[in-house]
Amino acid sequence: MPEQDTSAKTKEYYLDTPQECDRFFLKGSGNYDWGMKNRLARIFNPASGKTVMLAFDHGYFQGPTTGLERMDVTIRPLAPHADALMCTRGALRTLMNPEVPQAVVLRASGGPSILKDLSDERIAVSVEDALRLNASAVALQVFIGGTHETQSVHNMTSMVDACNRYGVPVLGVTAVGKELTRDARYIGLAARILAELGASIVKTYYVDDFETVTAACPVPIVIAGGKKLEELEALQMARDAIDRGASGVDMGRNVFQSDAPVAMIQAVRKVVHDGASAEEAFELYRELTSRGV
């Protein structure tokens, strides 16, 4: 039997205080439902509006990538410094500690290996399994201009429909085929298509004139790091991307293939969240490495 409200205190309705109406901090995300916003706020830091995602899903098509041979050894120490972990369900279940507070962005497309046409992907995870893993978003590759362009677009739109039922954001990854020019015209085309077809976040490569890509894409863009660069160069790329409208990075090789990955991810955070210049962040990298980090 529920108890009656017998409190002697006078009820207070704060009649002179209008109810607060929250404005959501993230680009293009103001009209989503609560669960979707809450998941996005786990990936993107509401204070800075940015994210440092750690990508270590490379094994899903290229096997034991350099730096990812033993993810229990190399990735687990990096996890505390990331806002979100982008990985496959296999890596998550077998190697990552479920006690980590980081958001999970789950790789949800796959199929071909590096031995085949990479654009021939299918959906590789159900939304139910993504929810079972408490994913904050799922990620699918979309091959605009690739042989299997339509199939890969369909993978993403099917997943958007499934994920919208549960408030799970979809991150669309623009994959650039060998034969396609990686420039603002192409990246801008791909990013815009993904956003228009329902991606809540777009991941792409940093290119010259990046501000035109971010301006014409109505959802947050995060950049991939791409091939390993010198640390200062990678930090400069992150700085340039943020300055030109990126909402964060989803870096893999430039972190886990660094000589000092734990120092590098902290330097990346300084650029993304603290507004540091590449040089200031590199100074932090050097200081941390001199201390053996």
Taken as a whole, the chain contains a residue count of: 293
Check binding of 86 to ligand 5RP (CB under 6 A). yes
Q: Helices in 7-119 by DSSP H: which ranges?
A: 34-43, 59-62, 71-74, 89-95
Check binding of 55 to ligand 5RP (CB under 6 A). yes
Q: Where in the sequence numbering do the catalytic residues fall?
A: 203
Of 58 and 192, which CB lies nearer to ligand 5RP in the complex structure?
58
Check binding of 140 to ligand 5RP (CB under 6 A). no
Q: Which stretch binds ligand 5RP (CB under 6 A): 40-48, 54-62, 261-269, 274-282?
A: 54-62
Of 84 and 168, which CB lies nearer to ligand 5RP in the complex structure?
84
Residue 134 gets the label, from left (phi > 0), alpha (psi -120 to 50) or beta, of: left
Q: How many chain residues bind ligand 5RP (CB under 6 A)?
A: 14
Check binding of 57 to ligand 5RP (CB under 6 A). yes
Q: How far is the CB of 264 from ligand 5RP (least distance, A)?
A: 12
Contacts of 154 (CB under 8 A, 6+ apart): none
Of 37 and 119, which CB lies nearer to ligand 5RP in the complex structure?
119
Would you call 17 exposed, middle or buried from its count of C-beta atoms within 10 A (0-12, 13-18, 19+)? exposed
Check binding of 156 to ligand 5RP (CB under 6 A). no
Residues 175-214 that bind ligand 5RP (CB under 6 A): 175
Of 8 and 114, which CB lies nearer to ligand 5RP in the complex structure?
114
Q: Helices in the chain by DSSP H: which ranges?
A: 34-43, 59-62, 71-74, 89-95, 127-132, 149-164, 184-196, 210-215, 231-243, 253-256, 261-274, 278-290
Supply the DSSP symbol for 221.
E
Would you call 49 exposed, middle or buried from its count of C-beta atoms within 10 A (0-12, 13-18, 19+)? middle
The closest alpha carbon to 204, from 26, 212, 122, belongs to 212
> Which 3 state secondary structure label does DSSP give 248?
strand
Of 32 and 220, which CB lies nearer to ligand 5RP in the complex structure?
220
Contacts with ligand 5RP, 219-258, as mask; x by CB under 6 A = -----xxx------------------------xxxx----
Q: Which residues bind ligand 5RP (CB under 6 A)?
A: 55, 57-58, 86, 141, 173, 175, 224-226, 251-254
